[in-house]
Amino acid sequence: MTIGIGLALLAGLIWSVTNIADKYVISKHLSNPGLIYIPLSVVHIVFGGGVFIFFRESVEMGHLLLLVGAAIMWIIMGYTYFMAARIEEISRVVPVFSLVTVFIAVISAIVLNEIFSLQTYFGIAIVVAGSVLIMLRDSIKAVLQSRAFGLMIISAFTASAQSIVSKYLLDYYSYWTIYAWFTFFVGIIGMIVFAHLIPLLRQTIKERGWKGVVLYSISESNSQIAVFFYVVAISFWYVSLASAVVTIQYLFLFLWTIILTRLKSGWINEEITRMVSLQKIIAIILIIGGIFLIT
């Protein structure tokens, strides 16, 4: 149990750092989200192909097609997330991913005809409230009409669809078999879809150097390491509790943004007035608490 908690916290910490890198790269180096998918695709091909060396379990054609669909959903998820991160503070954007838990619960209830407990309903309401609060600037109406919030709704929904497909396939194959095929498909499909941007990437590198590409490649590699820690964590502990503990990522991210903004590092520059910081803390607490209730 202690190992599970520790690894889940470590995964959340690593992912919070990758979020900072995402914001820096999309703001300072690769402003077109499609450009990010070129190094991202390479990293996924390397990691997916590497796992194939150890896990070569055969997969039925129908299930492979499901994995292709899941990979496409993941690419949409990432693209809309990067678009949102480009136009909004990263500490406001990332916590909206908590809606993935809500979407999964609702979709599962519809498909499986489940009836929610009052605790689950309360948890869903709290997560939704926290997600709106974290994005709030002027009014709730402005949040609901904001482009960043809309993009994150799409991102969270596609992420939940991908998670449901992966969860279904785990009844037939080992986690690492699913990881290898899924990750490899993300890399291949991403490279095909965004290959036309390679000339633009070359031009960007010529003008701004390799820093953005190298930094993002390292960041995405660390993200895959965090995935490994999370998988090991759920092997020692309950999946639902581990997934809830990982949401500490939102708090870590908030702390990073405060530190980097105060240091005037040039990496992050967010609004950190006392009222805004209090608003974000309350929203994050609501989100984490709501996820614990749902799971």
Using the predicted structure, report yes or no on whether residue 137 has a pLDDT greater than 90.
no
pLDDT of residue 31: 85
DSSP 12-46: HHHHHHHHHHHHHHHHHT--SHHHHHHHHHHHHHH
Task: Give the side-chain half-sphere CA count within 13 A for 150.
Answer: 6
Q: How far is CA 87 from CA 2, 82, 123, in A?
A: 39, 9, 29
Q: pLDDT tens across 139-174, in order?
A: 788 788 889 999 999 999 998 888 888 888 888 888
Mind listing the pLDDT tens digit for each residue in 203-232? 999 988 899 899 999 999 999 898 888 878
Q: Please say whether the beta carbons of 11 and 228 come within 8 A.
A: no
Quick one: average pLDDT of 40-54? 91
pTM for the model stands at: 0.88
pLDDT (mean) for 279-292: 89
DSSP type of residue 196: G
Helices (H) and strands (E) in the chain, counts: 14, 0
E strands, 39-135, are none
Tens digit of each residue's pLDDT (9 = 90 or more) over 91-120: 899 998 888 888 888 887 777 666 778 888
| Amino acid code (one letter) for 226 | A
pLDDT digits (tens, 9 = 90+) for 50-77: 988 887 788 899 999 999 999 999 999 9
Residue with tokens 């240091």: 263
Residue 131 CA: distances (Å) to CA of 74, 152, 180 = 21, 10, 32
Question: In b/e form, how buried is each residue of 143-169, taking b as 16+ CB within 10 angstroms?
Answer: beebebbebbbbbbbbbbbbbbbbeeb
pLDDT of residue 114: 64
Whole-number average pLDDT of the chain:
88
pLDDT confidence of residue 46: 94
- What pLDDT is recorded for position 152? 93
